Amino acid sequence: MLQARQIPGGVRLGLAAISLSVALVGGGAASAQDKNAGELVVLSLGGSYQDAQSKEWFKPFAEKSGVKVSEASGYNFAKLKVMIESGNVEADVVDISADTMTALADAGLLEKIDWSKIPAECQAGIPADMKKDYAFPIIQWAMVMAYNTSKVPQDKAPKTWADFWNVTAFPGKRASIGATRPPVEQATLAINGDLAKLYPFDLNAAFDKIKSLGNAIIFADGYAQVAQYLADGEADMAIIPNGRVGPLVAAGRPVAINWNQHLTFPNFFAIPKGAPHKDNAMKFLGYVCQPEVLAKIAAPTNYGPINVDAYKFIPADVARLLPGNPETVALGRPIDTVFLSKARPDIAKGWARMAVR
C-alpha cells in the first residue's frame, strides 16, 4: 500500500535537507545532449518503490534527455498544499494517490496535463476514466482477498465477500487491519455484491457487518502483520493489498489471491501549480508513459501499470499477481476517491463506535 512519509516541521519542503538523492546528470549518452537542458525535481514515496522508479525511470530519463533529475521523498497532502499555496514550489513532478490528486486539483493547485505532448502510442492503453485533466496515471495496487492454500484448498476457497463473511460454509479465521483502514467496502459487498453499486454506501450497515464476524476476524495494526498471520496460517484468509502477497508467493509460502470483487487504488504523477520546470515535467511524462518503460517496475514493486499495453512487456508469472492484468481487471473496480475522502472522518468515528459496543 502506498503511503507518503511525513516531512518533519517547516513550511518549505526543504528538499535539500531531507532524503535528497541527486540523480545522475547524464553519463556518456548525456554528453551528447543539450547541457543546458535544465532540471527536474521529482517527489516520490521512498522505499523500494522509489528505488525501482529511480533505477528504471528517473536515471534513464536523465541519461537520455540531459535533464538533471533530483529526487526526494517524504510529504503529505497538507505539506504539498502549503508548499504550493505559499509559492515555494520545490518539486516539478509529484507521485500522489488518487484522493490527494482529487483534492489538490479541486483546490486549483495542479498544472493541467498537456495530453497533446503525450505520444499516441502511450495513450492507446490508458483507460478513458484514468485520463485526468490534472494528473497522469502510472500504477495501481489492489485490495484483494487472499487465503492460505494449506488451510483452504483452492477448490473450496471463498469466491466472494459474502463467502468471506459466511463462517458456516467457510470456517476459519479471517484477518484485516483495523483502525487505520477498516474493511468497510468489503463488508458492504458482503451485503450486496454489485460492484457497480458499491458507492456511496451506508457506513453504519458496513460496521454492523464487520462486527457480525465477532471472534472470527483478527484485526492487525498494519499490513505486514496481516501478511504474517496469513503466511503462518494463523489466519485462513485475509483482506490485504496484493503487493503484500507477491513476496509471500515468491518465497514459496502457501498463499493465493482471489481477484473477484477486488478494489484498485491508482497513483498518478502530477505537476504542482507553479512548478519551476514544468516543460521538463512534460518531457518526463512523455518518456515514462511508454508501456515498455512503465512495465519495468512491475516485478520489483508488485504494483500494476494502469496502461494495459504495458502488460505486453511483463512476464506472465509476474502479471498474474498484479492489478490491471487483462485477465482479472474486469473482476474489480477502482475506489471512489471523492466518496472516501469525504467519508474518512466518519469511517474513523464508526470504527471507534464499533470498538466500544
Going through the chain in order, the beta strands assigned E by DSSP cover: 21-22, 39-44, 68-73, 93-97, 136-148, 174-177, 217-220, 237-241, 255-270, 304-305, 332-334
CA–CA distance, 236 with 87 (Å, rounded to integer): 51
Taken in order 248, 253, 258, 261, the sign of the CA dihedral is negative
| pLDDT tens sequence for the chain (357 residues) | 554 433 333 334 444 333 333 333 333 444 444 444 799 999 998 988 999 999 999 999 999 999 999 999 978 888 999 999 999 999 999 999 898 898 899 999 999 999 999 999 999 999 998 999 999 999 999 999 999 999 998 888 999 999 999 999 999 999 999 988 899 999 999 999 999 999 999 999 999 999 999 999 999 989 899 999 999 999 999 999 998 898 899 899 999 999 999 999 999 999 999 999 999 999 999 999 999 999 999 999 999 999 999 999 999 999 999 999 989 999 999 999 889 878 988 999 999 988 755
Reported pTM: 0.83
Q: Residue 174 contacts by C-beta under 8 Å, 6 or more apart in sequence? A: 164, 213, 216, 217, 218, 235, 236, 237, 238, 239
